[in-house]
Structure 1
Amino acid sequence: MAMTRIQGAGGTAIFMALLCLLSGDRAQAASPTLDHLYPAGAGPGSTNLVRLSGKADPWPPQVWVSGGSLQVTTTTNKNELEVVVAADAEPGPRLVRLFNDEGASELRPFIVGNGRELTEAEPNNHFAAPMAVGDLPVTVNGRLEKSGDVDSYAVHVPAGRRLRATLVSHLLMSKLDGVLRVVTTNGHQLAWNHDSATIDPEVECLAESDSVVVVQVFGFPFPATADIRLTGGEGAFYRLRLGVYEAEPTPSPGDPGELSLPVSRRDCLAESGARHRHSLKLVKGEWISAAVAAASLGSPVDAWLAVENSEGRELARNDDADGSSDPALDWQVPEDGVFQFVVGSLTRNAGPDHRYRLTIERSAPDWRAGLVNSSLTAKPGSTNELRVTFARLRGLTNELQVLANNLPEGVTVEPVAAPAKGGELKLSVVVSATAAAWRGPVEVVCRDATTGHERIVPFRLTGTEVNNGVPGGYRVLLADQVDHFWLTVLPAEPEKPAE
């Protein structure tokens, strides 16, 4: 920044001119953004070049990664990272964040696989010219490059084995509502799927004889648009898992009689209108949490769950819990006795594929909280607001405090009492005028004043939204939360020169 003084007959005029055009100048710097990474995963013991979609000026930013066994560094090529996965890396998702002196990006997932991995090679947009994937199991990292693109993969399936193809895309925060199709090498369709446990598809196909089939990937935009053409572009990335398996046995349907806690039982609604009753002997006053997993497992069952007493009177009922299509309920036992946990289908449809899993366990009063934002940027000499949602569960009345740990010097946060009936609370993040520039993760915890026990208040990446009637957001993710918010304390503004 340069200041020039001009003398004139009318007095002194000051004008400011930006002279520094270097990429490192704060006038041009901004917090980095990160939309996604491609490829979105890699196998153990591998070194990978990964492209990021987003903006990081000046380049390079710094990189933070959750978990361990992953080394991520920037290269000299803009928007390119080198990701080294340790040979003994634990399979599963990691979260990646870019940051610089001005702030931090949002978090995006990168997956450490548990076996052989490939990256899609074009051209492979026709069933007659597919990409061969070789031995199974394998995971293919792919992307639909442009509108109308279809990716095709040739897979060998031995006689009597079942091919299972699973697309993971929505669970990685992509912009793809994917579809899977299995066809013969002549293009005859054998199976297809659009949505399974989530909007990501999964398809199975039994090979009656030794054969080669073609698995195709295509899809539509997410969130949906008025354009019904097949989608493509940087955000239309995916991981395709391919494997062959023995057929899973169908569980024997029926009522199991009296059970004991905890319960985890798989069953199927094989007959239309069936109601399965699961008996439990319970004690007055104890809290019980019960849930049915069906839609979340890819089952067509639209399940409901109810509790009945020994006289058949319904005491509690649920069919959709917390925005899910599956039922769950917390219930306090009103008296000693035997109670029935009843599972049925709202649509009364049935069949051997109408599977569900019932879980029942003792629970206790508790709380649930979450950070509203994943990061905060603050100036020296400022007071800033950090919002926290809070809910008391199952009649919790303990006195609780929400506070921040591992704060840098010059930054303070006064503890705040959790609301008696739940709701939103606000923490004041006070940055002194003399606080030095700083950036890094800060934990927020909730402490029970009675027991002294404390637990992390996470930031959750999951959440749904509706924009002009169109559903958006991500209800389920492979990596769905992080145990901190990212704090950036900006450098102090330089003092203005005296006139």
Structure 2
Amino acid sequence: MTTRPIVASLIALLATASAAKAKPPTLDRLFPPGAQRGQTVAVKATGSFDHWPVHVWSDGPAIEVKAEKEKGQLSIIVASDAKPGVHWIRLSDEEGATSLRPFLVGVLPELVESESKDQPNIALDHSRVTINGRLGKSNDVDEFSVPMKKGQLLVAAVDANRLLGSPMDAVLQVASTDGFVLAQNDDDRGFDPRLTFEVPADGTYLVRIFAFPATPDSTIGFAGGDAYIYRLTLTTGGFLDHGYPLAVARSDPGQVEAHGWNVPETAKRLAVVADGNHETASLIHPDFANTVDIRLVAHAALIEQEPSDRDHPQAIPVPSTVSGRIAPARDQDVFTFPAKKGQTLSLLVESESLGAPLDPVLRVTDAAGKTLNDVDDSGKEHDVQLAFTPPADGDYQLSIRDLHGHGGERFVYRLTIAAPDPDYTLTLKADRLTLTPDKAGTLEVAIERKNGFKSPIEVRFDGLPEGMTAPSVRSEPGKDTEKTVTLSLTATAMAAATAPSGPFRVLGRAVDGAMVERPARFAIEGLSATTDQPWLTVLKPAAPKAP
């Protein structure tokens, strides 16, 4: 009796069972979570991958990613001219795709912390570096020895919760070698700390990072785990806090002042380069370890002029965006603006979202000094937004101050005043669509109409591979489709045979005076960022059943 047919049958059965159980890949995180421009790094992808190697997509040609032979291992090549900041990576196979995960590009030399952590602290040979680390277990504290000279100013900044989605509320310290804490911060940018430290004497100093859970739980002591990844930038060179003004006219962006620490004379003014239709432009300069964004606006972009108080209010037009600063402490900036009875104006004061420490209070008064509105926080953030409906024609005053009476160079704000235009937004209920060849797939799109937008909206797929049947749908105000529509997608026999996959877009198009086109967006899992590039996977046709 031969065993070969039995063995062959078992192998076929196992292969069939394996295929039936195969699931789309998942990607929890990348480590290291970033790299320096012009470098190639080995990166571990943590997740589940039933099929390896996977296909890898990135959001631009500056990031080239290759799946290595070993499961979970990637090689990432960062172009020398890659834009510093967040880039996005997605993995896929024939079963589906992962969610997008961030990968940060920096400009300083980088260090990847050893997973073993045999040494109690890591000695650095210079003070300009970005460290990729992980607080791998409870009560973990990472410590780095940094040599510095008297008079140097160290900037230490953590990227973890805000950009990487790490579930950590980090604390950053600078200490002497005998353990005395010289500087500490835990909340400069939300849960991500940043501090500056002026070196009092030549020597070696300790930089420590530890964390608590971003969502409080029953944890006693410091928190840690595989997901507690971070990037710690240390520099005694230039580091940007903001560019001023905070907004410029798109038609004439010009230059802005560089504000931060260790700003060299040659980089005190930086050119703003408008890129396509983007709402912001990044300030990038080789003398700085980071970048900041400047808003591009289509209307007047002004700078607050002192004195701007009750007796000397600064007149501003509607619409306009004003860059201002509350300094010194207890300062108050006052503006006057024209308004028509019953014509609602939108007033927005941004500060915390820009990384500034200002907690703004917005007050609107009439010509007689009567307070009509007095607004502090809007939602979870300290930024302020107000819909103001004037009770009569005339000039009105608005004032901005800090809730706690604080002030200083970093206490900047961006005030926008405008009549709210009718508009709409589209939100995807999912960022991945998996299509079975013999079945129609559906994608739900939520519609939010703003400021009285009443035009019909045509919602459609864009950028699909060939061989797809995808009719557009129409959202009508006052009907069942006003707030939600469902798109349908079917693969033709040609598309089913090739089983394509890749990014696509969902676009809305409406006419309300002028053509208004908006992309549908999806909130990226575990982060505040959004994407307008969901992913389509067309599954391979099922193998014909054996007779």
TM range (shorter): 0.7 to 0.9
Partner Cα distance (1:118, 1:253) in 2: 48
The structure whose RCO (Cα within 8 Å, separation 6+) is larger is: 1
TM-score by length of 1: 0.82
Partner Cα distance (1:98, 1:28) in 2: 19
State the Cα distance separating 1:114 from its structure 2 match.
2.2
Distance 1:299 1:208, change over 3 A: same
Whether the 8 Å CA contact 1:141–1:239 is kept in 2: the answer is yes
Which runs of structure 2 are paired with 1:319-334 in the superposition (5 Å)? 319-331=376-388
Deviations 1:436-475 (A, max 9, x none): 122111210110234334232222227xxxxxxxxxx54x
Which runs of structure 2 are paired with 1:200-279 in the superposition (5 Å)? 200-244=192-236, 246=261, 255=309, 257-260=313-316, 261-268=320-327, 270-271=329-330, 275-279=332-336
Distance 1:24 1:459, change over 3 A: farther
Q: 2:131 aligned to 136, 140, 143, which one?
A: 140
Match of 1:357 in 2: 413
Deviations 1:74-123 (A, max 9, x none): 00111000001111222221111111111111110001112322222464
Q: 2:173 aligned to 172, 176, 181, which one?
A: 181
Matched residue type, 2:314? E
Matched residue type, 1:449? V
TM-score by length of 2: 0.76
Deviations 1:111-158 (A, max 9, x none): 1112322222464764xx44215142x211111222222111223444
State the Cα distance separating 1:299 from its structure 2 match.
5.0
Percent identity of equivalent pairs:
32
Distance 1:492 1:123, change over 3 A: closer
Distance 1:247 1:496, change over 3 A: closer
- Higher share in helix: 2
Partner Cα distance (2:262, 2:542) in 1: 66
State the Cα distance separating 1:69 from its structure 2 match.
1.0
Distance 1:281 1:301, change over 3 A: same
State the Cα distance separating 1:345 from its structure 2 match.
4.5
Distance 1:259 1:139, change over 3 A: farther
Q: 1:457 aligned to 498, 512, 520, which one?
A: 520
State the Cα distance separating 1:218 from its structure 2 match.
0.9
Distance 1:133 1:364, change over 3 A: farther
* Mapped pair 1:403 → 2:460: yes
Distance 1:130 1:320, change over 3 A: same
Q: 1:76 aligned to 64, 69, 74, which one?
A: 69
Whether the 8 Å CA contact 1:182–1:213 is kept in 2: the answer is yes
Match of 1:481 in 2: 530
Q: 1:120 aligned to 113, 116, 119, which one?
A: 113
* Mapped pair 1:91 → 2:84: yes
State the Cα distance separating 1:391 from its structure 2 match.
1.8
State the Cα distance separating 1:20 from its structure 2 match.
3.9
Partner Cα distance (1:84, 1:417) in 2: 43
Distance 1:393 1:229, change over 3 A: same
Gaps of 5+ in 2: 1-8, 239-260, 264-304
Matched residue type, 1:108? R
* Mapped pair 1:380 → 2:437: yes
Matched residue type, 1:329? L
Match of 2:158 in 1: 167
Q: 1:415 aligned to 473, 476, 482, which one?
A: 473
Match of 1:195 in 2: 187
Matched residue type, 1:447? R
Partner Cα distance (2:356, 2:219) in 1: 30
Partner Cα distance (1:294, 1:414) in 2: 40
Match of 1:41 in 2: 34
Deviations 1:353-373 (A, max 9, x none): 882413224353222222121
Matched length = 462
Matched residue type, 1:145? G
Gaps of 5+ in 1: 1-15, 463-472
